[in-house]
Chains A and B, each alone.
Chain A
Amino acid sequence: MTTDGKLTLHVPEPAVRPGGTPDFSNVKIPKAGAVPRPEIDVEPETIRDLAFSIIRVLNRNGEAVGPWAGLLSDEELVAGMRHMMTLRTFDARMLIAQRQGKTSFYMQHLGEEAVSCAFRMALQPGDMNFPTYRQAGLLIAGGYSMVDMMCQIYSNSRDPLKGRQLPVMYSSQEHGFFTISGNLATQYVQAVGWAMASAISNDTKIAAAWIGDGSTAESDFHAALVFASTYKAPVILNIVNNQWAISTFQGIARGGAGTFAARGLGFGIPSLRVDGNDYLAVYAVAKWAAERARRNLGPTLIEYVTYRVGAHSTSDDPSAYRPKTESDAWPLGDPIIRLKNHLILRGAWSEERHKQAEAEILDTVIAAQKEAESFGTLHAGAKPSAREMFEGVYAEMPPHLRRQRQQAGV
């Protein structure tokens, strides 16, 4: 309570630091199936409470319950399972490859696999994602070549980006995956523009914008929401709240807002909050938002509540700022284990099939890795030509760059 006297500055702190006991008692988790599923043409102001709850489908027993359940077949869920397992295995192998010095840098998705893998399945060919560096599930689930992803990570002679980009900054027009930038939040407003262009052109394609909890503090986030709201752009505005922005806990970006989803309400954008570790819930919510966009009903904002289990990147050590066992205490569990339990309950999966799938996927990833490494790694083997450095700055190389290329002797 403020009394007369000197002012003090409020600086939010996470509940627990290294050495402490992880505590998520402040994270209110509603029961699976408890949140209603509104009609897609709902008036945004009538569903304001959805921005403060969490849409969940899978309950503690692994059953799919409530109004958001029942959208996916056994086959689709098994495919989703394999996508998530593939992404996790891919991450593990690339993390090791970085430690072995085969590349300079890597960022994993550990614990967040459901978000991008399930979301991808709600899109149609021609739609465009504007991802951050932590949505490679969009590529994996979209059928992009793992070899090409690895070649990009290795910056080798087959790197689709010719060695110009840091590892994991993929780009694939064909797979609806916009070129990743190191500058945070820039793509959020670009996604809105892309969606506006689709509407201007009377097209049927929609865009999906992606951002993390920390980057919502960037001004481009706010610009994106204003433009999406003003022009009712056919865009899904995704916020992946994994609780951490490198070492900074989400409270620093969120401030006094109850949730990140609540940010959308002030812009008149329907805003949902979903269990990001629940493959079925992520898919159901993404489908709802995609349908709204496709029916020209405008943007939807979605906050995925999840947890960044891994380090921020290969250059980060989370034990310096959060308890080592914090991820074990995360109340929404692990997306792969939760879907596995559900599939077993449905009779569409078994421990045996899971182990078999793990082995198959590992073989596939290792085979892809061998193939990728045959085209070189960062410090060994074939490399992109130094001439590539000068190409593609402009459509046509201007005279000053031709001179510089000549000087470089390439």
Chain B
Amino acid sequence: MARMTMIEAIRDAMDVMMARDEKVVVFGEDVGYFGGVFRCTAGLQQKYGRTRCFDAPISEAGIVGTAIGMATYGLRPCIEIQFADYMYPAYDQIVSEAARLRYRSNGEFTCPMVVRMPTGGGIFGGQTHSQSPEALFTHVSGLKTVVPSNPYDAKGLLIAAIEDPDPVIFLEPKRLYNGPFDGHHDRPVTPWSKSDLSEVPDGHFSLPLGKASIVREGAGVTVLTYGTMVYVAQAAAAETGIDAEIIDLRTLLPLDMETIAASVRKTGRCVVVHEATLTSGFGAELSALVQESCFFHLEAPVVRVTGWDTPYPHAQEWDYFPGPARVGRALVETMEA
């Protein structure tokens, strides 16, 4: 075991996989010599050489398109899009190609590829360094979408993603890179070293994709969330004193409906929390699924606490970001409903 930040855990996952499997290659903008703008690939080029970890031209479609070609050849590319906000030029390659290769070729060609991208707000990133585009991936048949919330999960899930035979979108909440964040931006940041979740096993270990984690057991209301909002929800529960069962979904697709349904049937109430905008966000899917599978157990309408339906603003960061106060109000209202 070693204490790691999320950055170190992500780097360690790639290190472990590059050492185990020479088919694993890592590339992206500033990923090689420099080690990534967030340091997630620091040292990998020195250790594994320029043909295993290298810098790419500034072309997201080129990065994803070439990675798809490599994956169909038989490599296992684990590539980086510098910010999730910049994945749109690669969206055609992700949706029309990576996601459908296996299906349209009846399994002749497959795409074992991971696309890592820093996601989420809470960092004064403004419109193009804060977005949470997960719903644009969960809507696509053939993709898996993963969002870790701590160093332990990040390493275990990234290793699982690299080993997975299908394309995986791996969204890394950059607000959590250096420490957990509960939305209290006016308080000092706690580093990962103060959290048990920074205890990460050495070497190879993986966590199954498609399995949620109950981060706080409770009987009053189920909170479905992921990424940074896991900590916001925990803060909200603590501050309101509501006995919430908080579920970190970890994988959005495939989704762990068993854990979700068991919890909502127990609590009878459900609050969905994400940073992404409301309309047609992943919360809508969660809400619909809970309503379909737990209708007769529900004692209150399913409530969603999300980012507003606006582009992510700069100055209004904390009016936009669904912090513990907003989440707490939703918990209280749901309990009173």
Contact = CB atoms under 8 A, between A and B. Distances in A.
Interface of A: 128, 130, 160-162, 164-165, 169, 171-173, 178-179, 181-183, 186, 188-201, 207, 219-220, 222-224, 226-227, 230, 392-395, 398-400
Contacts of A195: 69
A178 to B, nearest CB: 7
Contacts of A128: 73
Contacts of B66: 189-190, 192-193, 196, 227
Contacts of B61: 189, 219-220, 223
Contacts of B164: 395
Contacts of A394: 102, 142, 144, 165-166
Interface string B196-233: 00000000000000100000000000000000000000
A253 B293 CA distance: 52
Given A189-B62, A220-B61, A392 B72 contact: no
Nearest to A205: B73
B128 interface: no
A399 B254 contact: yes
Nearest to A160: B106
A278 B74 CA distance: 36
B4 to A, nearest CB: 28
B65 A190 contact: yes
- Top 9 nearest A-B pairs (CB, nearest first) are A193-B69, A193-B66, A189-B65, A223-B62, A197-B73, A179-B105, A190-B69, A398-B254, A194-B69
A400 B72 contact: no
Nearest to B99: A393
Nearest to B73: A197
A162 B210 contact: no
A207 B69 contact: yes
Contact of A196 (B69, B101, B103, B257): B69
Given A192-B69, A193-B69, A201-B74, 6 more contacts: A130-B69, A179-B104, A183-B97, A201-B73, A392-B106, A399-B257
B69 A172 contact: no
A201 B75 contact: yes
A224 B51 CA distance: 18
Contacts of B101: 179
Which of A192, A198, A201, A223 is the most central at the interface, judged by chain B CB atoms within 10 Å of its CB? A223
Given A190-B97, A223-B59, A227-B59, A179 B108 contact: yes
A400 to B, nearest CB: 7
A393 B96 contact: no
Contacts of A398: 210, 253-254
Contacts of A197: 25, 69-70, 73-75
Contact of B57 (A188, A196, A230): A230
A165 B109 CA distance: 14
Contacts of A189: 61-62, 65-66, 69, 93
B102 A395 contact: yes
A395 B165 contact: yes
Contacts of B97: 181, 183, 186, 190
A226 B62 contact: yes
Given A161-B106, A393-B103, A400-B255, A198 B65 contact: no
A219 B105 CA distance: 24
Contacts of B253: 398
B19 to A, nearest CB: 16
A60 to B, nearest CB: 41
B57 A178 contact: no
B72 A194 contact: yes
Interface in B31-80: 51-52, 56-57, 59, 61-62, 65-70, 72-75
Contact of B96 (A169, A186, A192, A222): A186
Contact of B73 (A165, A198, A224): A198
Contacts of A201: 73-75
A80 B185 CA distance: 71
B149 interface: no
A182 B96 CA distance: 9
Contacts of A165: 104
Interface string B99-142: 01111111111100000000000000000000000000000011
Contacts of B309: none
B301 interface: no
B241 interface: no
A392 B165 CA distance: 12
A41 B142 CA distance: 43
Contacts of B59: 222-223, 226-227
A186 B72 contact: no
B311 interface: no
B333 interface: no
A189 B51 CA distance: 18
Contacts of B57: 223, 226-227, 230
A236 to B, nearest CB: 14
10 contacts: A190-B72, A196-B66, A196-B70, A197-B69, A199-B51, A200-B70, A201-B73, A222-B59, A224-B65, A392-B102
A200 B25 CA distance: 9
Which of B52, B69, B142 is the most central at the interface, judged by chain A CB atoms within 10 Å of its CB? B69
Contacts of A399: 210, 254, 257
Nearest to B49: A200
Contacts of B319: none
B96 to A, nearest CB: 4
A172 B104 CA distance: 11
Contacts of B257: 399-400
B239 interface: no
Nearest to A230: B57
A183 B69 contact: no
A169 B101 CA distance: 12
B179 to A, nearest CB: 33
Given A223-B65, A394-B166, A181 B96 contact: yes
A183 B91 CA distance: 12
A165 B107 CA distance: 13
A141 to B, nearest CB: 20
A200 B51 CA distance: 6
B103 A164 contact: yes
A382 to B, nearest CB: 17
A161 B104 CA distance: 7
Which of B67, B92, B257 is the most central at the interface, judged by chain A CB atoms within 10 Å of its CB? B92
B22 to A, nearest CB: 8
Contact of A219 (B52, B72, B89): B89
A176 to B, nearest CB: 12
Contacts of A186: 65, 92-93, 96-97
A392 B142 CA distance: 9
Nearest to A235: B69
Which of B65, B93, B166, B210 is the most central at the interface, judged by chain A CB atoms within 10 Å of its CB? B65
